[in-house]
Structure 1
């Protein structure tokens, strides 16, 4: 739904001037969501917990985002968009300051739940606001720009966060993320025109689409596929160390992963239009399974040629983030009249998968387990994908 725009003084509906600032906000959200992977061992050492236990900080953020997103969407539906977006970024910034100053692991987990609330309130509403700021013929580009902030954060934000933690420590790194959130909040307060809220939609109405059988069959693919990718990614630093990649080279590998993520996300949409979502997903899960099996084999054999590790890391990123466009396509075909709701549920499914994968990866405690369990989940996802036959609602 596009919300009518009420312009403030000096604003222009055609300029879309605040749209890049909204995209910078989603970049901050994406960096916050994934940056912990860049300094997990340092965080674990400082708070006197194991690396697998420290991974729970990723799990609680992901699960918190998934559970809070539909609830906050229902509760805040009528709140004016500028007020909601600014408040969400303030919450996210304060939560990151809390994480940076956390005296212990329990306090860190509490701050990550608060950060998840801010992220869950910001991301979907930033897209709605961006589409309301520009003419109809430019709304697709505005929405793509805002969403790209999350993808770019995967490519740039996580390596930069890891680099910052190496230079100044993980606490100042989270402080920088907090500063970015607060800076964008101040910018939106000044530049974003007044945008009214939408109609109130009860939570039960938002979740009613889950009664559609095809939607219930498609969403588990998102959860399983993202879980497969994140059994190892949340523990990127120790798993790369097991592949003899340490120090600054880890940031280079994370950057390659991010570049692969951008290529996978951008190309899978066009490929879905040409070959269909199921074919693209099956190719992606096959590539992911093969990549994770290969990385696990390298850990077990102790042979880790850097060029091969770099290539496999790139494919890992591409196969992880090629999932979203075809999954959204399949969901919208299954329930076309509820397109916005199923896309939102798919976003929740992504974060459930991230949380589940991080939890599974931490169970074994070793890099080989993380890679091989991810490969097993990718194979399971491919099998599930080929055995279900969802149909569109008539």
Structure 2
């Protein structure tokens, strides 16, 4: 059983790492793709936009479907669609088909990423849910800082199309591996409408993630530019700063799993949000402090992603019967938060400059904390009613 558990975690980690690579690898390749299809950089940027919008729209549908019909078939379907979409991206005869390929890629990842979270929540031992989820989440977070170097390296030696060919080949292997790995994963036997009376409560719960994402990405999207203009960092220093951030994110996710299983999902998710607020304020104070920024970026990611992972575990426990759709809605909430965060960040730097970003992010973290506290109280009230 122990060996089987490590197999499941390894497959989940690698699958989410590949999904993360597909998400983060496109941005550094945009100049080469723009040149290949003779279109502007703004036009090629739609590759990222249509992927994100498709993912956000369809993830809840696939989550709902997996709660009713099982996750194994949906994950396998998603990986096969992932293979097809990346082959089409590599060999698209026109820019139109390139955009179509990224829509299909968004569909494929929407039917994989949240369902991996859900199926790990399904099979994890009752007292190890946090640890198991933290391990697979770290796969996605590792891609956050490994995706760009991976794509840039392959492009340098083999051209940008090779990146998508390699991902398609790995995806084909993972389709077979996932199909066999989740063979004995339990299926939800409920035949009732899983959304009946729960949709508003679910949306309220995942709104915590939306404000968390704003608190992280309103600054992260503009991090490179802010370090350049406010700290006069070179390209090497900016890369080092992002590496510190990436390491903090992975460590935060892994540490969070252990703490969550020991002290409880609700406690850790709330405590990490409190620390996130404080660290963002400190980040604002020391924003132009030179080398100290590395330390605070590391702490910011460490605490921030510890909070994200612990909240994922909390949702998995509180919505055990609707785990697939809740994880999917939570991922949609994440993308909405990233989008809103980038818009807010752009407005803030225009009005008040880069040093104001951490303080604005801290306000979003406060709102996330307040929503998190309210949802806990509501759940307790429901538990009292059900017990009576």
> TM-score, normalization: structure 2?
0.73
Query: Match for 1:226 among 177, 195, 213?
Result: 213
* Structure with the bigger percentage of helix: 2
CA contact (8 A) 2:270 2:369 kept: yes
CA contact (8 A) 1:82 1:193 kept: yes
The size of the alignment, in residue pairs, is 371
Question: Which residue number in structure 1 is paired with residue 274 of structure 2?
Answer: 282
Question: Which residue number in structure 2 is paired with residue 29 of structure 1?
Answer: 19
Question: Which residue number in structure 1 is paired with residue 386 of structure 2?
Answer: none
Question: Which residue number in structure 2 is paired with residue 258 of structure 1?
Answer: 246
Residue 40 of structure 2 corresponds to residue 49 of structure 1: yes
**Worse-matched range after superposition: 53-62 or 29-38:** 53-62
CA contact (8 A) 1:276 1:326 kept: yes
Aligned-pair Cα RMSD in Å: 4.4
Relative to structure 1, the CA distance from residue 155 to residue 99 in structure 2 (aligned partners, 3 Å threshold; closer, same or farther) is: same
d(CA) in 2 for partners of 1:333 and 1:13?
22
Question: Which residue number in structure 2 is paired with residue 389 of structure 1?
Answer: 374
CA contact (8 A) 2:256 2:310 kept: yes
- Which SS does the other structure have where 1:206 is aligned? coil
d(CA) in 2 for partners of 1:119 and 1:290?
36
d(CA) in 1 for partners of 2:223 and 2:63?
32
d(CA) in 1 for partners of 2:63 and 2:164?
26
Q: CA deviation at 1:88?
A: 0.9
Alignment of 1:335-346 (within 5 A): 342-346=326-330
Alignment of 1:19-98 (within 5 A): 19=8, 20-39=10-29, 48-50=39-41, 57-77=47-67, 81-98=71-88
d(CA) in 2 for partners of 1:369 and 1:44?
30
CA contact (8 A) 2:114 2:324 kept: no
Query: Match for 2:200 among 192, 211, 219?
Result: 211
CA contact (8 A) 1:72 1:121 kept: yes
Structure 2 residue ranges without an equivalent (≥5):
384-388
Question: Which residue number in structure 2 is paired with residue 15 of structure 1?
Answer: 4
d(CA) in 1 for partners of 2:284 and 2:312?
25
Question: Which residue number in structure 2 is paired with residue 351 of structure 1?
Answer: 335
**Worse-matched range after superposition: 126-135 or 22-31:** 126-135
- Which SS does the other structure have where 1:389 is aligned? helix
Q: CA deviation at 1:372?
A: 4.2
> TM-score, normalization: structure 1?
0.72
Q: CA deviation at 1:120?
A: 1.8
Structure 1 residue ranges without an equivalent (≥5):
1-11, 299-303
Q: CA deviation at 1:246?
A: 5.4
d(CA) in 2 for partners of 1:190 and 1:178?
19
Relative to structure 1, the CA distance from residue 102 to residue 17 in structure 2 (aligned partners, 3 Å threshold; closer, same or farther) is: same
